[in-house]
Every structure is written in structure tokens, then in C-alpha cells.
Amino acid sequence: MLDQLGQPFPPVDLRTLSGTATLGLTQRPESVRRARDFTRNTLQGWRLPQHFDAVGLVVSELVTNALRHGLGRPVVPAQSHAEPVAPIAVARPLVELELMRCSGRVICAVQDPSGALPRSSNPMDGAAESGRGLHLVECFSDGWGWRMLAGGRGKVVWAAFQTS
């Protein structure tokens, strides 16, 4: 039951909100690198570059999870033997990364269109080749959680970091 409730978004007092930055991402191999670069540049602009190691790692994990599990496989049209057809290029962002700076912390939030709940694997399972991402998020952030969006439009997975 508690897994279905998620964790409420950490309270953000809009009076203390001193910066936001948003990046739309599509299901492309370079999207995780773009998210990390965007995070590095944003933190530098906010004069918080010392927090990049932890925030950048968590952003990488959340974006990877959103692209891998929140979107599923890319849509590719059926090809005939007569004329090969190139895959359809997706122009609109499918995943959105938002960074927020407020009251001594940075919050990163990743939104995807999936209704699938975030699941973490056993981090002690040495045979698992993946599934450790949410364990890393828990270890490197000061708190994380998720919530479903109204109207079945997907979910947001967030992580918070103390900066002062």
C-alpha cells in the first residue's frame, strides 16, 4: 500500500525559490549526457558547483530510469523489403528534468509519461546488471520520492539535496 502512495513532493516555499531550470529530453543516446551537462551548467550559474558530483549522479540515474522504464522502446515503423523506412524522429520532449533552488537546497525532478511505479532492486545482488539506480539516488541525496501526476499523465521522481 505504501509503495502506491509514493512520497509527497518536498514542500517548496515559493517565497524562497531563487532559481529554476528545465530541460526537455527525448529518447536518444546523448540525452543522459545532455542532462548532466545541463545540471553542471545550472549549478555553476547558481554558484553551487561543489554539489555537482552528487546531484549529477542522481540526475543521471533518474533520467536513465525515465528513458529506459518510463518510455519503453522507441517507436519504429514496420519496414517492407522493397523500400527501407527510416525510424520516426521524435521532436517533442518525452522526459523533463527540472532543477529548483530554494531555502538551502536543490531539488531535481524528472517527469515521464509512464504510470509504472519506481522500483528498486536489491543492491546486494551482485548478479544483477542493473537496478541499483534508486539505491544510488537514496545514498547520494538527502531524500527522494515520487508522485503520480493528475489525470494519469505520468509521474515525477524527485530528489533533494541540502546546500547549506
User: pLDDT tens digits, residue range 42-56?
Assistant: 999 999 999 999 999
Neighbours of 10 (CB within 10 A): 17
pLDDT category, 3, cuts 50, 70, 90?
A: very low
Residue 135, burial from CB neighbour count under 10 angstroms (0-12, 13-18, 19+): middle
**Lowest model confidence (mean pLDDT) among 118-127, 136-145, 153-162:** 118-127
Match 548532466 to its residue by C-alpha cell. 36
Q: What is the pLDDT of residue 29?
A: 82
Measure the CA angle with vertex 64, ends 59 and 66; round to 5°. 95
Q: CA–CA separation, 106 vs 99, rounded Å?
A: 7
Average pLDDT over the chain, rounded to an integer? 79
Over 80: is that where the pLDDT of 34 sits?
yes
Q: What is the pTM of this model?
A: 0.77
Q: CA–CA separation, 66 vs 71, rounded Å?
A: 7
Locate 114 and state its grid cell.
509512464
The answer to whether 55 and 39 have CB atoms below 8 angstroms apart is yes
